[in-house]
Amino acid sequence: MEAIPDVKIDDGRFKYVLIRVHDKNSDDSKLIVRGSAKCSYHMDIYELAQKEIERDDRFDLEPQGGGRILHNAKEKRIEVFGYSVDLGQAKHTDTCDILKKHFAEYPPDNIIWTNEGY
């Protein structure tokens, strides 16, 4: 489970998916964030994560919803907002908690969320 990165996102504005990874051999699970400017749909992002992670038969993935991210690496700022028509809205507070841990060098007040917008 530790080998699976908690976060894989691009710079810029893009869709993202919050995903729960389950270890089939134990009760372990964790949330991960995946986002890509190259993907037009939330399901495309989820399917990329499936290909990446489920090739190891120990793991199952379960989408927890989606939204959008505006990531400005130069300014060390991330905004999480919106929802996925297909997957529903992710719990943006969970997403921000994961991002704050991953981007520890960013000021905590620069990683924010809102339920506004699409």
Binding annotation for substrate: 15
- Determine the length of the chain: 118
Binding-site positions: 15
Give catalytic residues, as residue numbers.
42
User: Using an 8 Å Cβ cutoff, are 100 and 94 in contact?
Assistant: no
Rounded Cα gap, residues 58 and 71, in angstroms: 32
* DSSP helix/strand/coil, 118: coil
Q: Which of 55, 45, 41, 50 is nearest to 10 (CA)?
A: 45
Q: How many other C-beta atoms can be found within 10 angstroms of the C-beta atom of residue 102? A: 18
